[in-house]
Every structure is written in structure tokens, then in C-alpha cells.
Amino acid sequence: MKQDRSSNSVGRLSWLDRLSQTLLGKPKNREQLIHILREAQHRGLFDADAQGMIEGVLQVAEIQARDIMIPRSQMVVVSREDSPEELVPVAIQSGHSRFPVVGDSRDEVVGVLLA
């Protein structure tokens, strides 16, 4: 049997319906869209975490590789042989959140450590 949309909750629209109604204003630029999304979050359509993710997605298009990458000579790498006790100080001192995990040389990247 097909469930009636109105049976979700009496007199309340789904979050998707409310979001689409909010967005019907057709923002003219990114700033207006972000403002509308913040208003929607304030009204309870979604939580602050979802708001952060949405804004992050919108900002990805503005990020260039040079904004998030560092020169190879400045890379902080960890060895796959390093113990957790050795990794913690490296993460703290560098301030980075991602570390290439290398094998026998810096050229042999075997993984990525997310700190």
C-alpha cells in the first residue's frame, strides 16, 4: 500500500519540502543562497552540521590546488613502521591533518594517515 505523504505528521511538511519551498526564492548569487540556507537551518530544516557540510560543498568550487597543497619538499611524512607514540608528536608539531604514509622511501606512498 502506498503511504500518503501527509501521514508523516499532521500539518507538517517534510524537510525536503520545506527546503524546496525556502529555495523557491531563486537566489541570484552564492551569498544569497548561503543566506537562504542559513535561514532554513535556523528554522530547523537541518542541523548545524548539515549546514557546515552544505556551505563546504559550495566553497569547494572556489578552492584551488595551491590553496590546499604544499610543496613536496615541505611534506611531513610518516613511516609505515612508526608506532602511535611516534606519530602523535609529529601530528602536533606539524599542525597538519593528513600525512602521507611511506614505505622504504618518500617516493613509496602506501597510504594516508588522517589525524
List pLDDT tens digits, range 63-90.
Answer: 777 777 788 888 899 999 999 999 999 9
CA 83 to chain CA mean position, Å: 29
The answer to whether 78 touches 94, Cβ cutoff 8 Å, is no
Name the strands in the sheet holding 109-114, side by side, starting at the edge strand that comes first in the sequence.
Answer: 78-79, 98-102, 109-114
List pLDDT tens digits, range 43-69.
Answer: 999 999 999 998 888 887 777 777 777
**Rounded Cα–Cα distance for residues 8 and 3 (Å):** 9
The residue-averaged pLDDT of 29-41 equals 86
Q: What is the CATH number of domain 70-114?
A: 3.90.1280.20
Cα–Cα distances (Å) from 110 to 29, 85, 104, 114, in that order, read 42, 20, 10, 13
40-49 contacts: CB < 8 A, separation 24 or more? 43/18, 45/15, 45/18, 45/19, 46/15, 46/19
Please report the pLDDT score of residue 18 as a whole number: 67
Domain boundaries, the chain: 5-65, 70-114
- DSSP secondary structure letters along 28-43: SSHHHHHHHHHHHHHT
